[in-house]
Amino acid sequence: MSSGNAYHGKVGDHFAQMAGTSPYNAFTDRPAVLDLVGDVTGARVLDVGCGAGHYTEALLERGAVVTGIEGSTTLLGHARERVGDRAELRAHDLEKPLDFAGDACFDVAVCALVHHHLTAREQLLSELLRVLRPGGRLVLSTTHPTAEWLHHGNSYFDESWVDHPLPDPSLSIRYQRLTLETLVTEWLSAGFALERLVEPRPLARLREVDEARYEKLGNEPSFLAARLRRPQP
């Protein structure tokens, strides 16, 4: 993500530790995103905002050739520990163009739980359309607008930036509330075709790990995931 809103220092360390087993990440968002990605055997995949490398690792296990980019050097260090030299990992501020990549050089792009942290979302979407081959797919996930409304209250149409506190009260993450209308409009305006929209539910085995979270995530939306495609000429 952007260097400004990326998870630096203690925030990055906290996220890296949590994302491996969290009901939200490991049992809800990641399975949904990987299901939307589908078969990536031999595919060139760009992991946008690769974080601590959990999605990169899963994509490698599915036979993909992965390039991961991340604005946090803290998280990039965790990703390198996780996948070693099996993937190309590079520091990159997602508020800036993807100038390291040529046109149509990737088959798939994955952008998991990054979109709502960015200010230059339209630029990034345009760049992703450029670097994907015709027919290539972008799988993107973000916070669910209804979940944000339930949590913050006020107007559903409030698209303000919020600082979400972490268990350590001295730490927080910054992101923007976005409506479904805004999200879909941005995707389509960038030139993508929307193939599938998913409201991820938790894996059934979460019930054995954390029944309370399983019930909550099974009854209230938390994330929104989409598979977009660069149209053929």
CATH of the domain at 45: 3.40.50.150
Confidence (pLDDT) at 171? 78
Q: Characterize the bridge pairing of strands 132-143 and 106-112.
A: parallel
Residue 223 lies in a domain: yes
Residue 1 lies in a domain: no
Residue 73 lies in a domain: yes
Residue 71 lies in a domain: yes
Cα separation values, 45 from 73, 114, 182, Å? 21, 16, 26
Confidence (pLDDT) at 221? 94
Domain count for the chain, please give it. 1
Residue 197 bridge partners (DSSP) = 226
Q: Per residue in 46-101, pLDDT tens?
A: 999 999 999 999 999 999 999 999 999 999 999 999 999 999 999 999 999 999 99
Parent domain of 76: 9-229
Residue 182 lies in a domain: yes
Q: How far apart are CA 227 and CA 229, in angstroms?
A: 7
Q: Characterize the bridge pairing of strands 44-48 and 106-112.
A: parallel
The token pair at 181 is: 């209308």
The letter for the amino acid at 174 is R
Give strand ranges (E) for the chain: 44-48, 65-70, 88-91, 106-112, 132-143, 161-165, 172-176, 193-198, 223-229
Confidence (pLDDT) at 6? 72
Residue 79 lies in a domain: yes
Residue 2 lies in a domain: no
Q: How far apart are CA 170 and CA 135, in angstroms?
A: 45
Q: Within 13 Å and on the Cβ side, how many CA atoms surround 88?
A: 10
Residue 229 bridge partners (DSSP) = 137, 193
- Indicate the pLDDT class of residue 215, thresholds 50, 70 and 90: very high
Confidence (pLDDT) at 5? 63
Query: In this predicted structure, which of 12-21, 66-75, 156-165, 175-184 has the lowest mean pLDDT?
Result: 12-21
Instruction: Tell me the mean pLDDT in the region 98-106.
Output: 97
Residue whose C-alpha is closest to residue 128's, from 219, 67, 78: 67
Confidence (pLDDT) at 167? 75
Q: What pTM was computed for the model?
A: 0.94
Q: Within 13 Å and on the Cβ side, how many CA atoms surround 144?
A: 19
Instruction: Tell me the mean pLDDT in the region 161-176.
Output: 84
Residue 3 lies in a domain: no
DSSP state of 42: T
Q: Classify residue 191 as left (phi > 0), alpha (psi -120 to 50) or beta.
A: left
